[in-house]
């Protein structure tokens, strides 16, 4: 066989979400590793080779820019449902990561591919990110929280009106491992 199936099975079955409060705060991942992770992401299957994924990477001072944008947008748009603790979390949690990748879906111009298939292709790309992060011994977490579904987010993340913002992938070195998970047979 060309690949070590035992190692691949282990990687898939032991991939875990590692949340930002489990990261080694302040420890930066080499940008070349992030580039390799993104190269793996774009090898995801996609119908008619539309490659609908669109990633924007935040690191270093960009993490503060990201934190400021999402916390202030939340404050502006939440109205009477504003919660101070959520606002503070949106301001501080991004700073725990080494890198944050915004996950976007760019809608194919001719629209012959159903939108759901484009979203599914991006989800496959995110699975490649998850597996790559795990293979590098790093921690990662795909969140659809924060400002993902709020109005007025798309342009900040390089997306057009017909595109979708599908969340954010936080990456960092693991300080506290996630618990072993179980799946139904």
pLDDT reading at 111 higher than 80: no
Q: Read off the pTM.
A: 0.96
Give residue 59's pLDDT. 98
What strands, in cross-sheet order, belong to the sheet with 53-59? 53-59, 99-105, 164-172, 139-143
- Name which of 148, 182, 185, 184 is nearest 14 in CA terms: 182
pLDDT reading at 91 higher than 90: yes
Give residue 109's pLDDT. 79
pLDDT band (50, 70, 90) for residue 1: confident
Give residue 108's pLDDT. 85
pLDDT band (50, 70, 90) for residue 105: very high
Q: Per the structure block, which two tokens stand in for 28?
A: 């930066």
* Mean pLDDT calculated for residue range 146-166: 94
pLDDT band (50, 70, 90) for residue 68: very high
pLDDT reading at 85 higher than 90: yes
All domains of the chain in start order, with CATH: 5-172 (3.40.109.10)
* Mean pLDDT calculated for residue range 49-61: 97
* Mean pLDDT calculated for residue range 63-77: 97
pLDDT band (50, 70, 90) for residue 101: very high
26-34 CB contacts, 8 Å cutoff, 24+ apart? 27/98, 27/172, 27/173, 28/59, 28/60, 28/98, 29/98, 29/99, 29/138, 29/171, 29/172, 29/173, 31/59, 33/136, 33/138, 34/59, 34/99, 34/101, 34/171
- Name which of 70, 131, 76, 130 is nearest 95 in CA terms: 70
pLDDT reading at 116 higher than 90: yes
Tell me the average pLDDT of the chain.
Answer: 96
* Mean pLDDT calculated for residue range 21-40: 97
* Mean pLDDT calculated for residue range 148-154: 91
Q: How far apart are CA 160 and CA 164, in angstroms?
A: 8
* Mean pLDDT calculated for residue range 15-23: 97
* Mean pLDDT calculated for residue range 91-99: 97
């Amino acid at each position: 066989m060309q690949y070590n199936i035992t190692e691949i099975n282990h990687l898939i079955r032991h991939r875990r979400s590692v949340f930002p409060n489990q990261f080694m705060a302040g420890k930066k991942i080499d940008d070349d590793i992030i580039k390799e992770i993104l190269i793996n992401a774009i090898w995801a299957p996609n119908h008619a080779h539309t490659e609908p994924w669109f990633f924007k990477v935040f690191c270093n001072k960009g993490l503060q820019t990201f934190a400021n944008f999402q916390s202030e947008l939340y404050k502006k748009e939440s109205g009477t449902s504003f919660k101070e603790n959520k606002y503070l979390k949106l301001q501080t949690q991004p700073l725990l990561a080494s890198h944050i990748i915004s996950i976007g879906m760019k809608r194919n111009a001719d629209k012959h591919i159903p939108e759901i298939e484009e979203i599914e292709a991006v989800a496959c790309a995110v699975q490649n990110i998850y597996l790559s992060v795990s293979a590098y011994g790093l921690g990662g977490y795909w969140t659809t929280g924060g400002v993902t579904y709020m109005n007025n987010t798309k342009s900040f993340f390089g997306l057009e009106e017909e595109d979708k913002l599908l969340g954010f992938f936080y990456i960092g070195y693991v300080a506290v491992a996630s618990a072993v998970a179980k799946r139904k047979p």
